[in-house]
Amino acid sequence: MSTTSSAALKTPVLDSYLPSLLNQISEQGGYIFVSMATQAASGDTHAAEAAKEMAWEQLHCGPWHSVVPIWRDAYSIACLHVAKNHYTSGEFKLALRALDMGLIMGGLTLRDDLNSCIEEVNSALRRKYFIDNGEERRKGEWCNDYELMEVLELLPVKSLSCKTVGKKRSLSLEGFLQEHFASGSPVIISDSMTHWPATDRWNDMNYLKKIAGFRTVPVEVGKNYLCADWKQELITFSEFLERIQSNNRSSAETTYLAQHQLFDQACILLYKWIKELKQDIVIPDYCFAGGGEIRSLNAWFGPPGTVTPLHHDPHHNILAQVVGKKYIRLYPASLSEELYPHTESMLSNSSQVDLDNIDEKEFPGVSNLEFVDCILEEGEMLYIPPKWWHYVRSLTTSFSVSFWWSEATNSAEDC
């Protein structure tokens, strides 16, 4: 896109807070940044880029928790200036990239400006996408072929041979409360998502591209987050969709758009990113059980073969299967010690046992532990009670959304 845009991006919060933010940055010794940001505010493109680089270096000069918070706001200031310049010269994709980076890495003060600019730029890009590609588009569906017998060979030993999770159609809220929430017992609920627009729309790759294709998203590349060669990358959602298609065709490294509590930046982005697709989903009434609050909505989107290793989470969870199928194995919270949790605090909610390849000598007894499992089909929701251990493997291209909520007494802040 090279045409210039007549309108400028509006940044009311930046306009009113800039002087005080720059003062705070000076107090931290960021005089050169302040000088660059001041020039950037009067339209100097090079100064805006230089300020962004400078703030980026500050974000990377030590562990994330030791970054002085004002430098995160400094990064957002610079991203907004860079985006405004790109937008004015019609470079919408570059503008959106800068804004997404501000959302992922920046501070909280300018988040409203970042979000409103993202909406503006994304809709400009979507208008262009429509014009370039025409209104009438062929539906691009995922290839969801799947052979049960072939899939069974890929699953951990003993899969689907013992107790499976019970399934209930259109379970009432009262029934859910009495029979599952109160006793902490998992259940699959079918027929409760038929009214979600997502059940139709998210099977259409072109729709996803149009809605969020230009956004930057954090993805996981590699077998799973416990493996040494695992890494995170920031790519556009369109690039991610292309990778899913190539993962479907080859055995290239798996890319998974997933959320783990370990990476709270990614978590914040997913929460924001999913805004574009949020109109297509409906928070299940079950998530208001216990009078608590939604803690986060997480997206889990990837090709066949993604694995989320055995771990547990502190919240109630409804995992809704919008596209495709997943194998899920659950162990009760009471078996925690027998599942050999990692000893480092950051991974203490993950098991050291690789269910895909159990080392009997190192982890004796694990193969004999009782579990329940299931294949979660498109249009079904699985209730996972707090602290229940779960292992998840996608059997087809799969897009799920998890809703985490906590009871009224738990006031911990999540993303």
Ligand X SMILES: O=C(O)CCC(=O)C(=O)O
CB closer to ligand X out of 106 and 309:
309
The rounded distance, in Å, linking the Cα atoms of 403 and 395 is 21
Site for ligand X (CB under 6 A): which residue of 313, 354, 373, 380? 313
- Which burial class, exposed, middle or buried, applies to 131 when counting CB atoms under 10 A from its CB (0-12, 13-18, 19+)? exposed
Q: Are strands 372-376 and 163-164 parallel, antiparallel or unpaired?
A: parallel
Shortest approach of ligand X to residue 413 CB, angstroms?
A: 18
Name the one range near ligand X by CB under 6 A: 95-103, 114-122, 283-291, 311-319: 311-319
Q: Is 317 in the site for ligand X (CB under 6 A)?
A: yes
Shortest approach of ligand X to residue 259 CB, angstroms?
A: 8
- Count of beta carbons in the 10 Å neighbourhood of residue 3: 10
Q: Is 155 in the site for ligand X (CB under 6 A)?
A: no
Site for ligand X (CB under 6 A): which residue of 118, 390, 399, 405? 390
Shortest approach of ligand X to residue 311 CB, angstroms?
A: 7
CB closer to ligand X out of 49 and 414:
414
Shortest approach of ligand X to residue 63 CB, angstroms?
A: 26
Q: Is 224 in the site for ligand X (CB under 6 A)?
A: no
Shortest approach of ligand X to residue 163 CB, angstroms?
A: 20
Could you give the dihedral angle defined by the CA atoms of residues 34, 115, 95 and 231, in that order, rounded to the nearest 10 degrees? Answer: 90
Site for ligand X (CB under 6 A): which residue of 24, 192, 308, 397? 308
Q: Is 350 in the site for ligand X (CB under 6 A)?
A: no
Shortest approach of ligand X to residue 264 CB, angstroms?
A: 15
Shortest approach of ligand X to residue 62 CB, angstroms?
A: 30
Q: Is 392 in the site for ligand X (CB under 6 A)?
A: yes
Name the one range near ligand X by CB under 6 A: 71-79, 134-142, 232-240, 312-320: 312-320
Site for ligand X (CB under 6 A): which residue of 5, 236, 254, 402? 402
Shortest approach of ligand X to residue 347 CB, angstroms?
A: 14
Site for ligand X (CB under 6 A): which residue of 9, 70, 211, 319? 319
CB closer to ligand X out of 70 and 319:
319
Q: Is 397 in the site for ligand X (CB under 6 A)?
A: no
Shortest approach of ligand X to residue 304 CB, angstroms?
A: 12
Backbone angles phi, psi at 220, to 5 degrees: -105, 135
Q: Is 400 in the site for ligand X (CB under 6 A)?
A: yes
Could you tell me how many residues of this chain bind ligand X (CB under 6 A)?
A: 10
Q: Is 300 in the site for ligand X (CB under 6 A)?
A: yes
CB closer to ligand X out of 1 and 372:
372
Q: Is 247 in the site for ligand X (CB under 6 A)?
A: no
Residues 357-386, mask of contacts with ligand X (x by CB under 6 A): ------------------------------
Q: Which residues bind ligand X (CB under 6 A)?
A: 258, 300, 308, 313, 317, 319, 390, 392, 400, 402
